Structure 1
Amino acid sequence: MSSVWRRHPFLRLLVMLMAGIACADYCPSWQWTDVSLAVGVACVLLMVCLRRSGRVLFGLVVYATMFAIGFLLMGQQLKLTHYDVGNGISDCQILLTEVPEPKPKTVMCRARLLAEARGDTLSLCYGRPEFLFYIAKDSVSLALQRGDTLWVRARLKPPSNEGVAAGFDYARYLKHNGVSGTAYVPAGKWIKTGHSSERTLRQKALDLREELLGIYRRLGFAGDELAVLSALTLGDKTDLSKELMETYSVSGASHVLALSGLHVGFIYALILVFFVPLWKRWRRLKPFLSLVAVGLLWAFAFLTGLSSSVVRAVLMCSLFVVVGLRTEKVLTMDALIVAAFLMLCWRPCWLFDVGFQMSFSAVAAILLLMPGLWSLCPFGNRFLRWVYGLLAVSLAAQVGAAPLVAFYFGRFSVHFLLTNLWVIPLVSLVLYVAVGVLLLTPFPVLQQPLAEGLRVLVRLQNEGLRWIESLPGSSIDGIRLHVAELIMIYVCIYLLCRALYRPTARAVYWALGGVALLLVTRLVYLFY
């Protein structure tokens, strides 16, 4: 482990920042002064125990500072979501900030609280708190739009886990997503008072996404084909049916439905096809073309509505592009660590986002395992090497992400290699052809034939995954892991990789000890 700290010194800062963020989230009652005092006392005790000074003292101060920064950033973000909801029913003026989402009995509206009247007191809300208002479903509430201004009479409630399945902390989930509370609005207890034409940058992006979805509909896409195409290219998953999502989940292809690093990587690869020949011929153009590539990636993020997963992926890719200006080897473990550090400084709550965790764990596993897997490639044929590389990347990514999938969703997809071999090439083709279809919008004569080809690709993808889903033993369900087991699994993965790359007696002993400790941990949670 000490060799890891030496090779990747920035990892120490990242770990301490993450520890501070986690501490602030799980101990929200702690005050800043308490943390500062505890960190100071810990540093003094360590100094007394180690009886060293100078370099050790400097390191302790840096680690304590990173921990404190993480605690402060997370505490500040949680503070922004806090709102004193009171105990009674109040009249609230709200502004709908997102498109209302119909539920079985209500219409869920994410709205900003502008003002609240409690009794004879009217208070303006300057903190811009956002609530989820569940308005009784009828023809009038179904007609609500983003930007509508309402007066509602409801009882505001803080985030809670009432009525939520055991094991899922819905209250923490809402706070991490910037929601200060919820409220139910009965029929007849609300009135629309106006409509705001002002749009934030994200709302403008969502409006543009709706226009692009309209192009798909005008071209005749409907049903599952429209749902998958919208999810793959624009990040809109509202039309996905439960059956289709189950098909993708069981077959191990759910990751392609959520716009993330995979899709951004395909777009960046398409950009490089045009840019690399230029900067190979004119080296001075590389910084300018790299900035243009970053701009195009952010334009893609804007087209997808600036969803958090795409923003994270584009930010990560942008950092890699900047690193690539100094070195030819863009994707390194140090670059990944720096990307994670900067992203957590920007938005600490991302540490608890499943997509964030899976993205970084998958990329880290690829960086850790691919050199060894690629060295085992027995093929000389170019096509066979491409197939082997695709399978090796899929295996490495699965090693990194599978423990998290089992922890959060209780499922392991057995045929993931077959799924990725089928779906990854098709997803890349769907993305590239979809870009062509949208660019040919002014030329409908050329657009329509290309749209037919796109429809065939999406249909092939869906049918292939349905066939994989029907295979026997396609998934293992009902997996339950504890946090300690999840951590031990990743520790064992690292120790086993270390033993494989450096097969010394000490490394093997550590790997066997890690596996034994994991088994003991599993037995403890099974029987106690």
Structure 2
Amino acid sequence: MARKINPRHFIHAIPMFRYALLLLLGVVLAESCFSAPGVREWLVLLCCLVGLALIVNKRHEMTSSVLILLAIVVLGGLRYSFHAEDVWVVEEDSRCEIELVVASEPIRRGKVVQFDGIVSGTGDVGDACGARCRLEGRKLRVSLLRDTITKRYEALHIGQSVVADVDISPLKDWHRMNDNFDYIRWQTMRGIVGRGFVGIGKWEFSESGSSALGFWERLKLKALVWRQVLLDKISETGISGDAYAVMTAMALGNKSALTPELREEYSMSGASHILALSGMHLSIIYMLLIYLLPRRNLWNKLFVLAVLWGYVVFVGMSLSVVRAASMLTIWEMVWLMGRDQKHLNVFGLTLAVMVIANPESLWDVGFQMSFMAVFGIIVCQPLMDKMIPVSLMKIKPVDLQELPLWKRVRYRSLRSLWFTACVSVSAQIGTVPLSAYYFSRVSLYFLLTNFIVIPCATVIICGTFLLTVIVIVNMVAGGGLTIMARLVAAILSAIVTAQNEILSFIARVPGASIEEIHISVVQVVALYAMVYALLLVLYRLVRVR
């Protein structure tokens, strides 16, 4: 029987989502207050609220509930205060002799090569660098001056260690997009605390740098080294240029080969999200594993989750892909426990876990875009699905087998197109205000773009994994599959090149995007409030079957 959705009952059915919002409120309050309470004050306040809630629980249940909700807000503030005490960045220029572990593949930029270096040890630097002990275990964005005679820098790769005399300086803001993007904060969220410059002849290779790192850092570094080896092997199969850059970005999270022109074309056409690993990419891998392991039992689920998290570590553990893996993990754990899998509860629990793990991630652009895209899909897509054309609603799935083949194909094709349109529009609704705020741009042909890139992404990601398996087997066997690897690479190169050409054409179409949009935080909040109000109205009108 059809019934109207009651927003009040709906909200009460998703407690984890409410708790996550309250936790976020506490983090935002602690960050925005110039004279925010310290850890001790937050802890005392939390104990008082919990104690009062326990005292008045039996007599005044409403008051007790309010106190518990306030305690969750305070918990968010307490967690941020713990995090703030550990935050440290370089504040003055100094010169230090330090041991560095190369944590990203060096990239040539003009007269220097740049890479992220983890400080694994410091030498005797005197009073000029009194905070040297705080450098250990942290990252510097290193610029190493190229020696064009000896060219020693060409032997420098990820995972290697060097001892260098480094000129250390504070991070510098760089407004590449607009004033709303905080480049310094973006770097600190990735563990980078300062900049380092190394002159010619001021560095030597070392053998013991990585051994000083912790287990988790060594594991992530080893995974990135393996990824670089795989990237080198893939480049030997014949795929190169923009095709190689896009394929490796979409499937392996390597965006170092993307040119500024290619990034701009994808951004204007509304396809920039395809270049950053996120939930869509991980969902394709998840569905591929489910297809290969159709039986829904404990061991298959655990194996799938192990493969997903291995992939997350392998591609560098960006926040968006960690969010997707966390949400899929919680979803599967809820299923294994036999509980009701409510999307917003899983969404809220994932959000709460990630914010508690790292409160600073709340201000990461990728984190915000990823969560708001998923939120838009969860909330808006069911509403749009009810607007499905009547011609499709007349056919029930049980009646499909009685239809001719061409009608079944037409029905499934139209359903797939409608579902893609609903998901694309829903994700866009969730991210448009943030896109306008951070990038000063809104792409208008995103729907057309998604009809192209989503099928291509499925083929490219699956094809890249096939190519990866062939390359690994070829390495282990010592050859024999080179021709097959080149054939798969040629097919992938043709598909990616065609995708690049189509998106380049869309980006050149007049009116492809609205540029130079400048809005404030208040306007972003107002836009989301308007969307929320409209959704409440629609949920009251729509009938659920």
Which category of TM-score, normalised to the shorter sequence, fits these structures?
0.7 to 0.9
Match of 1:423 among 430, 449, 453: 453
Asked if 1:351 corresponds to 2:362, the answer is yes
Deviation track 1:346-392 (CA, whole Å, cap 9, x = no partner) reads 22222111222112111111111222211221143221111111111
* 5+ residue gaps, structure 1: 280-285, 505-528
Tell me the residue number matched to 1:515. none
1:296 aligns with 2:314: no
- Relative to 1, partners in 2 of residues 1:119 and 1:127: Cα closer, same or farther, differing over 3 Å? closer
- Aligned pairs for 1:102-501 (under 5 A) are 102-113=108-119, 114-119=121-126, 124=133, 128-138=137-147, 139-141=151-153, 143-146=155-158, 147-154=160-167, 156-161=168-173, 166-194=179-207, 196=209, 198=211, 200-276=218-294, 278-279=295-296, 286-326=297-337, 330=341, 332-378=343-389, 379-380=391-392, 381-441=411-471, 442=474, 443-501=481-539
User: Could you say which residue in structure 2 is the equivalent of 1:13?
Assistant: 19
In the alignment, is the contact (CA less than 8 A) between 1:362 and 1:397 conserved in 2?
yes
Change (3 A) 1:398 1:168: closer
Residues 54 and 176 of structure 1: CA distance in aligned 2, closer, same or farther (over 3 Å): farther
Supply the distance in 2 between the matched residues of 1:297 and 1:44 (Cα, whole angstroms). Answer: 42
Identity of aligned residues (%): 28
The AA in structure 1 aligned to 2:244 is: L
1:116 and 1:353, CA in 2 relative to 1: closer, same or farther beyond 3 A?
same
Shift of 1:397: 0.9
CA contact (8 A) 2:175 2:183 kept: no
Amino acid at match of 2:173: N
Specify the code of the residue in structure 2 equivalent to 1:290.
K
Letter paired with 1:395: V
Partner of 2:402: none
Gaps of 5+ in 2: 1-6, 212-216, 393-410, 475-480
Written as runs of structure 1 = structure 2, the 5 A alignment for 1:92-107 is 92-107=98-113
> TM-score, normalization: structure 1?
0.84
1:288-335 Cα offsets, whole Å, 9 max, x none, are: 211111112123224324344322221221111222334597461111
Give secondary structure in 2 for the equivalent of 1:502.
helix
The structure with higher relative contact order (CA 8 Å, sep 6+) is 2
> 3-state SS of the aligned residue for 1:132?
strand
Cα shift at 1:162: 7.5
Q: Are the equivalent residues in 2 in contact too, given 1:301–1:314 (CA < 8 A)?
A: yes
What TM-score does the superposition give when structure 2 sets the normalisation length?
A: 0.81
Specify the alignment match of 1:33 in structure 2.
40
Could you tell me how far 1:54 is from its partner in structure 2? 3.0
For residue 80 of structure 2, the aligned residue among 66, 74, 80 is 74
> How far apart in 2 are the matches of 1:471 and 1:162?
30
- Counterparts of 1:448 and 1:215 in 2: how far apart (Å)? 11
Q: 1:168 to 1:197 in 2, by over 3 A?
A: closer
- In structure 2, C-alpha distance between the alignment counterparts of 1:331 and 1:435, rounded to whole Å: 31
Change (3 A) 1:190 1:447: closer
Contact 2:138 2:193 in 1 (8 A): yes
Measure, in 2, the Cα distance between the counterparts of 1:352 and 1:264. Answer: 23
In structure 2, do the counterparts of structure 1 residues 255 and 373 end up closer, same or farther at CA, with 3 Å as the change threshold? same
353 and 167 in structure 1: CA distance in 2 versus 1, 3 angstrom threshold: closer
Structure 1 residues 324 and 39, CA gap change in structure 2 (3 angstroms): closer
| 1:41/1:481 CA distance change after superposition, 3 Å | farther
